[in-house]
Amino acid sequence: MTTMPALFLSHGAPPLVDDERWVAQLRRLAADLPRPEQILVVSAHWEAAPLTVGATDSRVPLTYDFGGFPERYYRTVYPSPGAPELADRIAAMAPDDQPVHRDSERRLDHGAYVPLTVMYPEADIPTLQVSLPTLEPEALFGLGRRLAELREEGVMIIGSGFTTHGLPFLTDPSADAVAPGWSVEFDAWAHERFAAGDVDGLMRFREEAPGMPYAHPRIEHFSPLFVTLGAATDPEVAPEEPIDGFWMGLAKRSIVAA
């Protein structure tokens, strides 16, 4: 069985599916990757401790965790099969002192289903979402290390966030807005750290990255990256960066780690 990569995707708000460039980039990325047997997503939009496994029943509706958008975004469906065996596997992998919880009423949020509607629009791959049990890079890196062996079982691990997410500091809400300096600087710094395989430096982003705290007034959109890095075969090998650029001034840099 092909060992699947681990991804960090800048997923965007629901209207990002209307951005032709992003859609083309994401479709091309999916076409270049081996097809997963199952998908495991850790999204910036679900924080719950301890680690919590979402619904495995595809009849449970999507989690429309956003507001103020046109009605059509609330009619999006993504009826991917659940992944109950994967949920059981993750629960069995947990340390005895860190039991996994289950939430049978919470299915995929937009951090999970928005990119998947573009990557795998047939919604025919069993997909499971788990929570962010913490926002601390070191702990999330450790979670990724624990989950890494799932990649050898055909599971694609996706951390879904955004490389910059300073929404309170954006002055132009248009999709093609000029990126503010703090977003450009943080994105360039992240690119340099990825190219150098500098996991330790990335973990110190709050203290060392230019553009902070404007790039991440809260860190939940950068935190999923560390699950991805932890799940990498060798986190210090530079990942691929198949998607870059900006949307609404936010950096949508995304990575693929072998």
- End-to-end CA gap in the chain: 15
Cα–Cα distances (Å) from 96 to 64, 99, 103, in that order, read 33, 6, 19
Does a structural domain hold residue 1?
A: no
Match 């926002």 to its residue by tokens.
135
Q: Is the pLDDT of residue 98 over 90?
A: no
Looking up residue 252, the CATH number of its domain turns out to be 3.40.830.10
Distance CA 175, CA 195 (A): 27
Does a structural domain hold residue 35?
A: yes
Q: Mean pLDDT for the chain?
A: 95
Mean per-residue pLDDT, 72-91 = 95
Among 25-39, 88-102, 181-195, where is mean pLDDT lowest?
88-102
- As to burial, measured by CB atoms within 10 angstroms (0-12 exposed, 13-18 middle, 19+ buried), residue 201 is middle
Q: Is the pLDDT of residue 12 over 80?
A: no
Q: Is the pLDDT of residue 27 over 80?
A: yes
Residue 43 is part of which domain span? 6-257
Does a structural domain hold residue 76?
A: yes
Overall residue count recorded for the chain in this entry: 258
Confidence of residue 201 (pLDDT cuts 50, 70, 90): very high
State residue 162's pLDDT score: 97
Max CA pair span of the chain? 49
Closest C-alpha to 250, from 7, 71, 15:
15
Q: What are phi and psi of 160, to 5 degrees?
A: -120, 115
The tally of domains found in the chain comes to 1
Q: Is the pLDDT of residue 166 over 80?
A: yes
Confidence of residue 68 (pLDDT cuts 50, 70, 90): confident
Q: What is the pLDDT of residues 216-229, one digit of tens each?
A: 999 999 999 999 99
Cα–Cα distances (Å) from 92 to 39, 95, 147, 152, in that order, read 18, 8, 11, 17
Does a structural domain hold residue 56?
A: yes
